[in-house]
């Protein structure tokens, strides 16, 4: 009887090898248990990197996360936009359990005309980027992350930093030919609390960023803000106490040279030609 039972088990394992316990372990779980062993199929990594570049729809009240376990990833670029509707989102950097070294609240009046584009430093891995759409369910947003070909501040932006004391503000007006600007904020290692506003007219906020960084030296902030139209002003407010100064730089990023001829003359004439 025992011989018949053993022979039936051996016959079943030969006929159905897919039910072997070694084959039932998922590929990702096997990779986590054996981090030193590379993937046999390199197309898996390529597909995963391509999926990171594709925008993901986040409905109102929903949360999406992007996790990076590699210590080699030092920077992550984030882009949040919409189909023309307002964008109201919370963006956080998670580094371990109950540790949020960087977080920001982003509001954009028109996510298609002025998408949010920022670079987050991730010096200590593993890290997770969390984006929550705190708007209504009728206002979905599109979010994507990048780890390659990241935009960095140029030499002009780094060299033109100026001190902003705690509780003080500084404004940066721009000509209509400036279609986008780059903004860089950092500290000497102290916490960073700032409010960034894009104004187009008196008290007309087109974009608002409320930023908190646990260490403004290891976790500085850099973003690119589109400034279409005329009358654009960037207002940077240091919301920290006077003991926590910060260094800010706001310079043009893209200048439309073709529009210079429209603003060469100081006098702007209007009205109809009826003899006046």
**121 in a domain, yes or no?**
yes
Q: Within a domain: residue 189?
A: yes
User: What values do phi and psi take at 17, rounded to 5?
Assistant: -70, -15
Measured between alpha carbons, how far is 92 from 45 in angstroms, rounded to an integer?
25
CATH, residue 131: 2.60.120.680
Asked if the structure places residue 122 within a domain, the reply is yes
In a domain, 4, yes or no: no
Q: Which of 8-12, 173-177, 193-197 has the lowest mean pLDDT?
A: 8-12
For residues 165-175, one letter each, b for 16 or more C-beta atoms within 10 angstroms of the residue's C-beta and e for the rest, the string is eeeeeeebebe
Nearest to 166 by CA among 257, 238, 267: 238
Q: Euclidean distance between the first and final Cα of the chain, in Å? A: 116
Please check whether residue 53 lies inside any domain of the structure.
no
Under the banding of pLDDT at 50, 70 and 90, the label for residue 23 is: very low
| 47 inside domain | no
Residue 12 falls inside a structural domain: no
Q: 52 or 209: whose pLDDT is higher?
A: 209
Answer yes or no: is 33 within a domain.
no
CB 56 within 8 A of CB 129: no
What is the sign of the dihedral through the CA atoms of 255, 199, 159 and 93? negative
35, pLDDT greater than 70: no
Residue 92: give the domain boundaries: 58-257
pTM as predicted: 0.75
The order of strands in the sheet holding 162-164 is 56-58, 141-146, 75-81, 116-121, 221-226, 178-186, 246-255, 162-164
What tokens were used for 156? 């002009």
* Model confidence pLDDT, tens digit, residues 144-154: 999 999 999 99
- How does DSSP classify residue 18? G
Domain count for the chain: 1
């Amino acid at each position: 009887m025992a011989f018949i039972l053993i022979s039936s088990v051996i016959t079943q394992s030969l006929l159905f090898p897919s039910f072997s316990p070694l084959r039932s372990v998922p590929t990702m779980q096997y990779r986590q248990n054996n981090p030193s062993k590379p993937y046999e199929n390199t197309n898996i990594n390529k597909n995963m990197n391509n999926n990171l570049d594709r925008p993901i729809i986040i409905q109102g009240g929903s949360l999406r996360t992007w996790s990076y376990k590699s210590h080699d990833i030092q920077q992550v670029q984030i882009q949040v936009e919409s189909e023309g509707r307002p964008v109201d989102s919370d963006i956080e950097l998670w580094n371990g359990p109950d540790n949020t070294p960087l977080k920001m609240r982003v509001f954009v009046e028109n996510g298609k005309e002025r998408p949010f584009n920022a670079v987050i430093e991730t010096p200590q891995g593993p890290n997770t980027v969390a984006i929550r759409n705190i708007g209504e369910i009728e206002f979905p947003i599109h979010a994507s992350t990048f780890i390659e070909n990241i935009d960095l501040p140029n030499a002009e932006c780094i060299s033109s930093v100026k001190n902003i004391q705690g509780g003080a503000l500084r404004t940066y007006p721009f000509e209509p030919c400036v279609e986008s600007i780059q903004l860089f904020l950092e500290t000497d290692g102290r916490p960073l609390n700032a409010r960034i506003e894009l104004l187009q007219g008196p008290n007309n906020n087109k974009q608002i960023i409320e930023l908190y960084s646990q260490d403004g030296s290891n976790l500085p902030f850099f973003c690119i803000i589109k400034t279409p139209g005329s009358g654009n002003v960037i207002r940077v407010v240091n919301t920290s106490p006077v003991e926590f100064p910060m260094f800010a730089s706001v310079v043009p990023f893209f200048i439309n040279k073709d529009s210079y001829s429209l603003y060469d003359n100081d006098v702007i004439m209007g009205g109809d030609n009826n003899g006046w």
